[in-house]
Structure 1
Amino acid sequence: MDVELNVTYVTLNGYVELQKYRYLYFVIMFLAYIAIMFCNSTVVILIWFHKNLHEPMYIFIAALLINSILYSTALYPKILMDFLSEKQIITYSACLFQAFVYYTVAGSEFSLLSAMAYDRYVSICKPLKYPTIMSKVTVNVCLALAWLIPACEFAVSVLLYYNTKLCDYTLNGIFCNNSGYKHQCVTSIIISIYGLVLLITVLILPLFFILFTYTRILIIVFQGGKEVRRKAAKTCLPHLLVLMNFSCFVTYDVITVRMESDFPKTVRFVVTLLMLLFHPLINPIVYGVKMKEISKHLKRMLCWLKSH
């Protein structure tokens, strides 16, 4: 811990061979950040400008891609600065804010995936009632709750951490996450209980809802005809791929936080970089390729760019 003018600094000790490969790391991650911003923004803009994409399914996809932009913007600029800095440090307040954005986006992503699962359920299992159930008001409420509830829940968590004294200000990672709870001088029972509440409300309940919803969809699909199965495969497969990718990402985060000291530093660093690279890029690639309407508009845009 460095203290200058009453400012507390946290050391990020997760970097490997930084002196030797700093410029290589920087170039790779900088290009990845540009690709993430470009791919996600392109699909969001397409959905925004084309009225035939102003449907609940595509609106939720746009929200999911905005999450990828927020997630990357919360992490990439600081990581890029650290690659070129002599000291990899961050103020404790900025560290808490970074963790807040990181987990809020993760929590809202599960909420959005839950809303998308329900949207597919209504579309496939109750097609006649779809316009009534998935109205504009319903979609707006789902979007608001998907962002506001995780933000409020993790804001409380940040306040609890802010008022907790830490005895070790060195984190074995390259960005701030929940691993700080292991460095408390005295383990806070309140933080432990609240962490369990967060785990249940943000992760377990949405995951069970998603699994239950897709189980119901599968039951209806197997009972239906060929057209029902085709529609289900076309619209549900991209969501399931994104869900599996995000579940792997969350599982990795939980494992590294819980096994911080036992996880090999080099392996942790490499896997973290890979997760930072691939997780925000998977969503626009999956939806851009697998969703027919989005893919069609992307091809038209590419053709227009070539002609000009």
Structure 2
Amino acid sequence: MKKKVILILIVILVSMVVLPNRVIAAPVMQENTSFETPQKEKFLDKVRNTVLNRNYKGFNTQPHEWYYMNKGKSEEQGPPKETSDYVPKYNCYYIGDSSKKIIYLTFDEGYEKGYTPKILDVLKKHNAKAAFFVVKPYIESSPEIVKRMEREGHYVCNHTVNHKSMPSIYDEQKFKSELDGVEKEYKKVTGKEMPKYFRPPMGKYSELSLYYTKKLGYKTIFWSFAYGDWETGNQPSKTEAKKKILSRTHNGTVLLLHAVSKTNADVLDELLTQWEKEGYKIGTLDELVKFKQ
């Protein structure tokens, strides 16, 4: 009997840790169940199959982290091979037209470090429009900056309320609330509807999370360039940042930058100047989506 209780507890604990937000029913324990082989192995197989089941409502729940296959300037970048089918199926975008010198600037905004006003000044100087993916606390703490973004023609887009890993949320209403909360706060501050573009926190996604996102009317924006710019205490030098960004800029690049980066704020003017010299134009998310349709 002691073994039975221990096994039940193991099933419950594993289900709580491995599959948050999902209810798993433990197998019913019969009083005469024998845990000798082969009955024991059959029971353990059932437990393993239940815990490792990656299907919910017919959608794969295996979590993934977005990455891109950077091939330099000459070749088109590739999406993750294991989820490449998800990109067209669930309205995901990560690159524009590889035959045209158009690139797309996007910034993730988890909190304000004091550099966004400078970034906006530089964008205004170059008449460039960017997309800022914001969480709800950012809108609450920096409403004037958000209003300025909208007023100057930038896209202020959804990055969730709490910056959670969205593949961990199985419940559709909980998932929806993470996006709805940002929309409502944005409208409260600006009086405008938020553009229906979404960036998953930390680039984490699953087929289920992409399905929910599409069902809510959103398009998921990934990227074809990113670098280690988010650690405020370990910033790359301007020289290092310029070299890395410019050497990996390609036709159709969707750049992911973080606005908490002092280096990004300091180097943006030089980047835009160089891109202009090379004949690049800064496109909008609407233009990115229109090209892919």
Q: TM-score range by the shorter chain?
A: under 0.3
Between structure 1 and structure 2, the one with the greater Rg is 2
Q: When the two structures are superposed, what TM-score results if normalisation uses the length of structure 1?
A: 0.24
State the TM-score, normalized to the length of structure 2.
0.24
Q: Which has more strand, going by share of residues?
A: 2
Q: Which has the higher helix share?
A: 1
